[in-house]
Structure 1
Amino acid sequence: METRRWHLIFGFTMLFILYGIVLLNIQVLSSEYKTMSEANIVDRQVEYPLRGMIYDRNGQLLASNAAVFDIMVTPKYFKLAEEDSAILAGMLDYTIEELRFNIKKARGYSWFKPSVLKKQISQIDYARIQDKIIRFKGISIQARTIRSYPHKSLANALGYVKEVSRSYLEKDTTKYYQSGDLIGISGIEKFYEKQLRGQRGVSYVMKNVKGVVKGPYADGKLDTIPRVGATLTSSIDLDLQKYGEDLMVNKKGAIVAIDPSTGEILAMISAPSYDPNELTGEGKRVSKNYSNLSRDKNKPLFNRSMQSRYPPGSTFKTVMAMIGLQRGVVDTTTTYFSCNKRLVGCHEHASPLNVRGSIVNSCNPWYYQEIRRLMDDEGKRYQTSDRLRETLDEWRDEVKGYGLGVKLGVDMPYEKGGLVPSSRLYDRIYKGGGWKISTIHSISIGQGEVLSMPIQLANLGAIIANRGHYYTPHIIKDVGGEGPLEQYKEKHTVNVKPEYVDHIARAMADVPRIGTARRAFSNDIVICGKTGTAQNPHGEDHSIFMGFAPLHNPKIAIAVYVENAGFGGTWAAPIASLMMEKYVNGEVKRGYLEKYVYSGDLIAKEEARKERERKLKELREKNKARYKEIQARKAKQDSVKVTTSDSE
């Protein structure tokens, strides 16, 4: 018995010693249990910063933040009588079933924590229900902000923000975003997402076992304050932007205007467009608006200014002329090629022509003959030679130096690079190398396989305005008071002598005066430009104009595309000249030209043309079917006659 007693004493002693060691470890030595204990009473709450503002170059607000309200429900305290269900559902624009589903979803998340019952109610709608909704127990209001656009302009360039998707969260290697965060989807909002989103703040609060907040943890010493997103100053001139959008009403196409001295984009218009506020916030309204815009056959969500690849048409002749002068295959004084319409069609003008005359009169045969010299064709027009491949690729590299066929690096997402054909492309198209200079010489007048975007042509205008250099076009001139991003301060020089570019610039000054763009002529400023007409297999040709103003110390370079509008001098040139006059002089005096442009409903005209073609096609099909029916009937009658004759 004595031995057992000592065994029990020893056993209990060891147990108490072990228990003491464990307690010492939990309370003093180990931080794990302290962390777990605090996790039960400390709640980490993320504080979202305000998204950065966006202004135009003159201080007009383009993008701001608007207050909205989330209706929250805490299931533990929420009690709803049957007769009140319809009232609450009506307030929240829910059906009874939708209301019950969201309440059930909140209960599945937590009985003690608030959950979103209705997202992003506007200030107007909240003011309407504010006095009524507070009588429902367990309902609370949480204020937040969404993007707001004070003007209906610049929708495609500004872009829009949206709640981050689950698929994006899965791919997000930075692990910055959380469910419910807003993120830029397109335009400036996407490209400058890191600058605009700011930096989250975090606060720690004490709570009890039921999740009720009791106050700040550690007197708020661990809290961090959210940092507001950077303010962006855009290079856009809002007044010029609105004016251009008005000129493009009832038309499809694009306008891009650039300050040649800096590369700053003054206006970026894609028509038709939409009100950017249609895609702000969440819910059924936004989903419905996005669906409608996506299905619109005129593609208002598509940014034509930097995503539509069009043939540059005769505006490309300026590049061809500068390359020819730089290579020495032509010069500024000699009269060269005649207007040989057997090579390609052209309008009536003097012949032969020098370089200046070829620009002013937009002579197609002139450039067909020039490209043969550039390609060192030597009369071998009926075979593909290694020399032809070599000279074509050399020519392609020179064209790319003018910012064509490459991405310029604009501070906008989804920019396309256009197309300048290479020998490899033609080898793929014409298998076995069955191409020759006579096959491809349409590229000399901006047709064939040459494709460009409006922003590239506007940049070409800036190159000529600057007599041979450019800055990468950009739409944000200042990020948080530190100027533009570094890559937009770099000067790019084209491989061409300034005197050659000046010769082309002076020739372009004569195009509105005595050439193909007489409707663009202005007595107040010297407008320099080049018209273009891009062939379109699906309808009327596209009308194009590229230019700058004034001739000396240029302030604006511009490109205008108007789809299905015909000759460049008919629509694109007048629109461009009005835009240049508006920006340079601050006002437009040619009211008659404004009236002409405003009156043009080219979308309706094109729709009417398509309808006529559709009806004509239907009529042809009916006539064809009728003819077959008559032929079948006649054949049947002849067969009956033969049978009758045989029986007789």
Structure 2
Amino acid sequence: MLENRKWVIIGIFCLVGLTYLARLFYLQVIDDTYSLGASKNSIKRVVEIPYRGQIYDRNNKLIVYNTPVYDLYVTPKKVRIPDTAAFCRMMEITLSDFDSIMGIAKNYSPVKPSLFLRQLSKEDFARIQDALVDYRGFEPVISSMRTYPAHTMANALGYVSEISKKKLEEQDIPYYRQGDYVGHNGLEEQYEEQLRGKRGVKFMMQNVRGVNKGSWKNGAYDTAAVAGQNLITGIDVEVQRYADSLMMNKVGAVVAVEPSTGEILVSVSAPTYDPNMLSSRFFSKNYRALIKNPYKPLINRPIMASYRPGSTFKLIQALIAQQQGSLFPNTVYGHGGSPMRCHCHGGNNLRGAVQYSCNPYFYNVFRKFIYHNGNSNTFRASAVGLQQWHDMVEKFGIGQKLGIDLPSELKGNLPTVSYYDKVYHGELRWKFSNVYSLSIGEGELLISPLKLVNLAATIANRGWYITPHYIKGFNKPCVGVPAEYLERHETGIDYKYYLPVIDGMRGAVANGTVTALANIPGIDLCGKTGTSQNAKFGHKFDHSIFIGFAPMNDPKIAVAVFVENAGWGGVAAASVAALVAERYLKRKTEAKKLEEKVLASNYMPPISSLTKPKPTPTPKKDTAQKPVAPKSQSPKPEAPKPYMTSTKPKSATTTTGVSGN
């Protein structure tokens, strides 16, 4: 009996021993929880930021690249500074800046490195490198900074800066960390995912003092950073810079596209700024200065400015009326019966009306379109006709976002039947006399320069367009272009109806509303002028508009130009457009007299007019250029105000009325 008990006790001890051995084996060999926990104290995870993708133009010229710079980090507990004042002079910072930076660093961690100064150039670092050995606790880390060798296209490119707290919190999939850089606005934001690349990770051994002791497990678990993809754009940087020079001392926009592909060749927003201003460590200071600039250089006018299109809109009226069957190329209208006046002698057919931009002609075209249904009810006919007009105009991309590859595109305004019903409190309370200013591109219409260059490209293509876009490919042309920038959009207007309109556009440049100097030999430019009313200066300085394409029968470039406060479209805007088309097609400028005139012109409004409200001018007795409203009509609704940014600063375009050429 006792012998049996002995073996039972021995068996229990053996079982307990085996249990302990099994547990120890599991903890030390199989389970790595404690090992990893200990490793956290001895292994440092270092994130490697990849080089951001570069940006090129269509001819493989660099627009944006990365310049190596140095970020200086500080570990507060290690800091030893014999002379703080001398240190601040060396770093070119103030004592208050030093105290502020060190305070933030200590709050973050006394023993962990945090950013002290960002983006020191190679020259700045070389200046302080030898002296840093006298100041313990400071460590330089190589980084990169965006550099813009062409000094152009600031608004379209956007900029790269530290991620905001709001954007950090709104991430769907956590990727960015505090202090990371991210693209803002423009192409930098639009193609952020492709440009940023993929991060790499290195695991480094360190001792209790945080000193690196080499790679952990010979880098078995390291992953290499992958550089971002290079973005190739359709921009022609040579022509872009030339267009910039033509828009010096002017406010407005120049946009040019290749009609057959929709690729944007030129994108000027004037006034502009050097994009390098927002790529240095003085970002905050420079950004504040740009924000305060009364000429609003941060506004990307090609996609964010809204103007009344003026007489350029007559091209759409001519096309949709022919398609409807209410207008024929040989249709002739005089000036009789029209409340609008005109500078031409009247009696034109369609080609002549486009060539000389006849206001009464297109008043009659629009009126015939609205009442083409033959409905005897005046109010109902206006509503039915206007709805058809809206639906046909909309196919040209008007009144909606085109979908360009930039954030912040505004859709403008294309008035609807429901809009007038709401303004006049019912469909039977408004009629044609309330909306006829739409016939010549005034009234409630608001269109961006992008929409008008797209119209020019559509006419150049005789009825279709591809959504304007900057991208030409990633790393190689035609690689990775989104499908929406390869799709053709049809306007529903037959090919034959474009021909008389194009003849009239060629006539406008050769012997019409365009200044003779802009009819440059060898480019065969077709165009349409427009003058958008500007009540801010009492209509003294209206906005100059021109759209066109060249050559006439083999279009290679379509262009739209807005020059604010510059008067007739046939002079300021047409001159800029002609020179841009010539430079693109010929690769040189032969129209030296025209170039000299454009470069010498200055249409900048005085700063006082931008910062102080102007009193409403007293209407002049001479109404030769204004529509005469029938006495029985209801008060005209106030048009939507043109705006240029999300904060809606008022543009100089603020009234409805009749446009010039």
* Same-fold call, TM cutoff 0.5: yes
Give 1:114-125 correspondences, 5 Å limit: 114-125=113-124
Offset, 1:357: 1.4
Give 1:544-623 correspondences, 5 Å limit: 544-604=545-605
The answer as to 2:307 corresponding to 1:335 is: no
Kept in 1, the 8 Å contact 2:81–2:87? The answer is: no
Task: Tell me the distance in 1 between the aligned counterparts of 2:597 and 2:376.
Answer: 46
One-letter amino acid of the counterpart of residue 528, structure 1:
C
One-letter amino acid of the counterpart of residue 224, structure 1:
T
Partner of 2:233: 234
Give 1:3-402 correspondences, 5 Å limit: 20=21, 22-81=23-82, 84-282=83-281, 285-332=282-329, 334-340=330-336, 342-349=338-345, 351-376=346-371, 384-385=379-380, 387-402=381-396
Task: Tell me the distance in 1 between the aligned counterparts of 2:48 and 2:228.
Answer: 13
Q: Residues 583 and 195 from structure 1, CA distance in 2 versus in 1: closer, same or farther, beyond 3 angstroms?
A: same
Give 1:506-521 correspondences, 5 Å limit: 506-519=503-516, 520-521=518-519
Kept in 2, the 8 Å contact 1:88–1:133? The answer is: no
Q: Residues 165 and 597 from structure 1, CA distance in 2 versus in 1: closer, same or farther, beyond 3 angstroms?
A: same
Larger Rg: 1
One-letter amino acid of the counterpart of residue 532, structure 2:
A
Deviations for 1:327-369, whole angstroms, at most 9, x for unmatched residues? 111112x3332123741121132x3221111101111111111
Offset, 1:137: 2.0
Task: Tell me the distance in 1 between the aligned counterparts of 2:112 and 2:79.
Answer: 12
Offset, 1:208: 2.0
Which of 518, 522, 529 is the matching residue for 1:531?
529
Kept in 2, the 8 Å contact 1:382–1:437? The answer is: no
Q: Residues 612 and 163 from structure 1, CA distance in 2 versus in 1: closer, same or farther, beyond 3 angstroms?
A: closer
Task: Tell me the distance in 2 between the aligned counterparts of 1:380 and 1:533.
Answer: 34
Offset, 1:39: 2.1
Offset, 1:93: 2.5
Task: Tell me the distance in 1 between the aligned counterparts of 2:221 and 2:483.
Answer: 36
Provide the secondary structure at the position in 2 that maps to 1:384. helix
The answer as to 2:543 corresponding to 1:542 is: yes
The answer as to 2:475 corresponding to 1:480 is: yes
Aligned length: 605
Kept in 2, the 8 Å contact 1:335–1:352? The answer is: no
Offset, 1:151: 2.1
Offset, 1:378: 7.6
Partner of 1:639: none
Task: Tell me the distance in 2 between the aligned counterparts of 1:417 and 1:615.
Answer: 30
Q: Residues 483 and 14 from structure 1, CA distance in 2 versus in 1: closer, same or farther, beyond 3 angstroms?
A: closer
Task: Tell me the distance in 2 between the aligned counterparts of 1:592 and 1:98.
Answer: 54
One-letter amino acid of the counterpart of residue 40, structure 1:
N
Provide the secondary structure at the position in 2 that maps to 1:203. strand
Task: Tell me the distance in 1 between the aligned counterparts of 2:216 and 2:534.
Answer: 68
Q: Residues 35 and 305 from structure 1, CA distance in 2 versus in 1: closer, same or farther, beyond 3 angstroms?
A: same
Deviations for 1:216-262, whole angstroms, at most 9, x for unmatched residues? 11211111111101011111111111111111111100000111111
Offset, 1:611: 11
Kept in 2, the 8 Å contact 1:541–1:565? The answer is: yes
Task: Tell me the distance in 1 between the aligned counterparts of 2:55 and 2:84.
Answer: 42
Provide the secondary structure at the position in 1 that maps to 2:241. helix
Deviations for 1:464-502, whole angstroms, at most 9, x for unmatched residues? 111111111111211122152222111222201111112
Offset, 1:11: 11
Offset, 1:287: 0.9
One-letter amino acid of the counterpart of residue 335, structure 2:
C
Q: Residues 224 and 608 from structure 1, CA distance in 2 versus in 1: closer, same or farther, beyond 3 angstroms?
A: closer
TM-score (norm 2): 0.86
Task: Tell me the distance in 2 between the aligned counterparts of 1:389 and 1:59.
Answer: 52
Kept in 2, the 8 Å contact 1:56–1:236? The answer is: yes
Q: Residues 30 and 585 from structure 1, CA distance in 2 versus in 1: closer, same or farther, beyond 3 angstroms?
A: same
Deviations for 1:378-400, whole angstroms, at most 9, x for unmatched residues? 89899532x43232122111111
Sequence identity of aligned pairs in percent? Answer: 40
Q: Residues 612 and 290 from structure 1, CA distance in 2 versus in 1: closer, same or farther, beyond 3 angstroms?
A: closer
Offset, 1:9: 11
Q: Residues 307 and 104 from structure 1, CA distance in 2 versus in 1: closer, same or farther, beyond 3 angstroms?
A: closer
Which of 426, 432, 438 is the matching residue for 1:432?
426
Kept in 2, the 8 Å contact 1:464–1:502? The answer is: no
Deviations for 1:523-559, whole angstroms, at most 9, x for unmatched residues? 2221100000111221221100010011011111000
Provide the secondary structure at the position in 2 that maps to 1:406. coil
Give 1:622-637 correspondences, 5 Å limit: none
Kept in 2, the 8 Å contact 1:512–1:529? The answer is: yes
Task: Tell me the distance in 2 between the aligned counterparts of 1:479 and 1:367.
Answer: 46
Q: Residues 105 and 450 from structure 1, CA distance in 2 versus in 1: closer, same or farther, beyond 3 angstroms?
A: closer
Provide the secondary structure at the position in 1 that maps to 2:403. coil
Deviations for 1:86-107, whole angstroms, at most 9, x for unmatched residues? 1112222333343244334434
Greater alpha carbon shift after TM alignment, 228-237 vs 15-24 = 15-24
Task: Tell me the distance in 2 between the aligned counterparts of 1:438 and 1:300.
Answer: 39
Deviations for 1:290-325, whole angstroms, at most 9, x for unmatched residues? 111111110000011111010111001111001011
Task: Tell me the distance in 2 between the aligned counterparts of 1:294 and 1:19.
Answer: 71
The answer as to 2:420 corresponding to 1:423 is: no
Q: Residues 353 and 504 from structure 1, CA distance in 2 versus in 1: closer, same or farther, beyond 3 angstroms?
A: same
Partner of 1:522: 520
Deviations for 1:597-617, whole angstroms, at most 9, x for unmatched residues? 11111115x558889997999
Which of 370, 390, 404 is the matching residue for 1:410?
404
Provide the secondary structure at the position in 2 that maps to 1:602. coil
**Runs of at least 5 residues in structure 2 that lack an aligned partner in the other structure:** 1-5, 618-661
Which of 433, 437, 444 is the matching residue for 2:439?
444
Offset, 1:205: 1.2
Offset, 1:21: 5.6
One-letter amino acid of the counterpart of residue 317, structure 2:
M
Q: Residues 336 and 43 from structure 1, CA distance in 2 versus in 1: closer, same or farther, beyond 3 angstroms?
A: same
Greater alpha carbon shift after TM alignment, 253-262 vs 214-223 = 214-223
Task: Tell me the distance in 2 between the aligned counterparts of 1:414 and 1:615.
Answer: 32
Offset, 1:14: 9.4
Deviations for 1:175-221, whole angstroms, at most 9, x for unmatched residues? 11111211111111010111100110111111222222211112111
Provide the secondary structure at the position in 1 that maps to 2:59. coil
Task: Tell me the distance in 1 between the aligned counterparts of 2:558 and 2:109.
Answer: 60
Kept in 1, the 8 Å contact 2:515–2:571? The answer is: no
Q: Residues 178 and 20 from structure 1, CA distance in 2 versus in 1: closer, same or farther, beyond 3 angstroms?
A: same
Q: CA RMSD in A?
A: 2.6
Kept in 2, the 8 Å contact 1:381–1:438? The answer is: no
- Of Structure 1 and Structure 2, which has the larger fraction of its residues in helix? 1
Kept in 1, the 8 Å contact 2:160–2:182? The answer is: yes
Task: Tell me the distance in 2 between the aligned counterparts of 1:381 and 1:206.
Answer: 89
Offset, 1:568: 0.6
Kept in 2, the 8 Å contact 1:382–1:436? The answer is: no
